[in-house]
Amino acid sequence: MTAILDVRDFSVEFRTRSGIVHALDRISFQVARGETMALVGESGSGKSVTAYALLGLLDAAGRITGGSATLEGVELTQASPKELARIRGARAAMIFQNPRAALNPIRPIGRQIADVVRRHAGLSRRDADARAVEMLREVGIPDPARRFAAYPFELSGGMCQRVMIAIAVATRPALLIADEPTTGLDVTTQAVVMDIIQSLAAETGMATILITHDLALAAERSGRIAVMHAGHIVEDAVTAELLAHPRHPYTRRLLAATPTAAGGLADLRAIPGSLPDLRRTDLPPCRFAARCEQRLPACEAPMAWRHLAPAHRVACWNPA
pLDDT per residue as tens digits for the range 12-67: 999 999 999 999 999 999 999 999 999 999 989 999 999 999 999 999 999 999 99
Separation CA 62–CA 59 (nearest Å):
6
User: Percent of the chain beyond pLDDT 70?
Assistant: 98
pLDDT tier, 263 (very low <50, low <70, confident <90, very high otherwise): low
Separation CA 99–CA 110 (nearest Å):
15
Query: Residue 63, Cα to own-chain centre: how many angstroms?
Result: 19
pLDDT value of position 304: 82
C-alpha radius of gyration, the chain, whole number: 20
Separation CA 57–CA 102 (nearest Å):
13
What structural domains does the chain harbor?
3-222 (3.40.50.300)
pLDDT per residue as tens digits for the range 90-127: 999 999 888 888 999 999 999 999 999 999 988 899 99
Residue 110 CB partners (closer than 8 Å, separation 6+) = 129, 132, 133, 136, 144, 147, 148, 149, 150
Separation CA 320–CA 314 (nearest Å):
10
Separation CA 27–CA 133 (nearest Å):
39
- Helices 109-121, 125-138: crossing angle, 10 deg rounding: 120
